[in-house]
A = this chain, B = another copy of it.
Amino acid sequence: MKNLVSLICIFFLSLLSVESYSQSADEATIKQIFDEALSNGKSYEMLHDLTVNIGPRLSGSPGAAAAVEWSRHVMEQYGFDSVWLQPVRVPHWVRGQQELGRIISKKKGTVSVNVCALGGSIGTGPSGIAAGVVEVKSFEELKLLGTKGVQGKIVFFNRPMDPTKIDAFTAYAGAVDQRGGGASQAVKYGAVAVLVRSMGLNQEEYPHTGGMRYGDGNKIPALAISTKHADALSKLLKEEKDLQFYMENHSVTLDDAPSFNVIGEMKGAEFPEQIIVVGGHLDSWDLAQGAHDDGAGCVQSIEVLRLFNAMGFKPKHTVRAVMFMNEENGLRGGLKYAELAEKNKEKHIVAIESDRGGFTPRGFTMTVPKNVRDKIKSWKPLLEPYGLTDFDQEGGGADIGPLQRQGVPVMEFLPDSQRYFDYHHTQEDTIDKVSKRELELGAASMAALVYLIDKYGF
């Protein structure tokens, strides 16, 4: 009996010691990941190349082509096992020069305001559009006005993002229907154009662009107006209901253009046919350097593989960094990647996107079975020291949505959200708005999660 007790004790002690060994080995490896990222990290340097040397890179533009070549080149230079391009045809929308917005007031004269075409909008034609303005806060309000109130007018969608939402993405989600669907709704009642309040939380001089889509009806021009000027226009409309607004833009949609997803890969040592994807999108809006959206996600994804290489860490599973093309106005890259994954019978065990900016880490969102979330939450003690505390939210990412529909568990790096919409889709999304350390911490966070998934699976 005594021997049996001893044996049992030894058995459990050995379990404990294995576990504590493993835990401290994981702690050490994760520290090594963060040390390398913070001491010798290349993510900021890469982001400088992508934003300052290349700059805006809307699908089909010369910038997008340069970004494809750059990311292929940089991953080859880092010596990943293989780097290749996935051809994909993408929409090719061109903003055109000279975008004008002017309030024409009897009281104030002509007041210039800052506007920009929403991505996908048609142009006004060379002589622009001048019309009366009707302000609404919602599609319901628009419907109540009906043809009688809207016909021949510019509909001004002016519902602000709700500043009381702590998560800025929730505030965005509550307002962005106006941008995406405003034109297709307003045209039903005979509107000649729409003007949409920019998706920003602050009083800003500059407008935010972003995708819009037409429905089956006629197409009318859709422009964004800066939040500051939206407030000014709204105020003036209260005093002078019949003021006129002049807008002019010259956007056109050309034929689809050839482009590419860019993929870098480290081959798995034990399960090479099982793939872990980390990714971001390589395209950006044309107004923006795309530093946070989504240069950050691209360089963080490349950095995950570079960190493993630099540490001499050989993952058991294949790890891929994927630069998706065309997230902003078509998602063709994400669709193509998933289509080929299915066709080639690739097995993806998880896909992790970074497309919420290069801000300080908070956690990961995920859309996964409960047991997977529980497994990830069991790693919290290893990740909390790095500010990663939130693993409860649903999420994934646009580019990996098509993989998700094939049953792949998806996750998204979750940085702090507060500053994202100060820059999103604007001229202000530049590298000086990115903190080097915050960017590096994000890359290391992604690498740490990949390391744990690679080691323990779900």
Which A residues have a C-beta under 8 Å from some C-beta of B?
Answer: 31, 34-35, 38-39, 163-164, 166, 168, 201-202, 360, 362, 385-387, 389, 416, 418-419, 422, 435-438, 441
Known contacts A360-B418, A416-B360, A416-B416; decide if A386 and B435 are in contact (CB<8 Å). Answer: no
Q: Shortest Cβ distance from A142 into chain B, in angstroms?
A: 25
Contact in complex: B166, A387 (CB < 8 Å):
yes
In the assembled complex, 7 residue pairs joining A and B whose CB atoms fall closer than 8 Å, in A order, are: A34-B166, A38-B164, A39-B163, A202-B436, A362-B387, A416-B416, A418-B435
Q: Which residues of B contact A441 (CB under 8 A)?
A: 166, 418
Task: Give A38 to B202 CA distance when docked, in angstroms.
Answer: 11
Q: Shortest Cβ distance from A317 into chain B, in angstroms?
A: 27
* Count of chain copies: 2
Chain B residue with the shortest CB-CB distance to A362: B387
Q: Which residues of B contact A360 (CB under 8 A)?
A: 360, 416, 418
Contact of A437 among B39, B418, B436, B437 (CB under 8 A): B418
Contact of A168 among B39, B418, B437 (CB under 8 A): B437
Known contacts A202-B436, A436-B202; decide if A385 and B166 are in contact (CB<8 Å). Answer: yes
Interface centre among A201, A385, A416, A441 (most CB of B within 10 A): A416
Q: Which residues of B contact A419 (CB under 8 A)?
A: 435, 437-438
Q: Which residues of B contact A202 (CB under 8 A)?
A: 436-437
Task: Give A168 to B438 CA distance when docked, in angstroms.
Answer: 11
Task: Give A437 to B436 CA distance when docked, in angstroms.
Answer: 21
Task: Give A245 to B386 CA distance when docked, in angstroms.
Answer: 41
Q: Which residues of B contact A168 (CB under 8 A)?
A: 437
| Given A34-B166, A422-B435, 7 extra CB contacts under 8 A | A31-B164, A163-B437, A166-B387, A201-B437, A202-B436, A362-B387, A418-B438
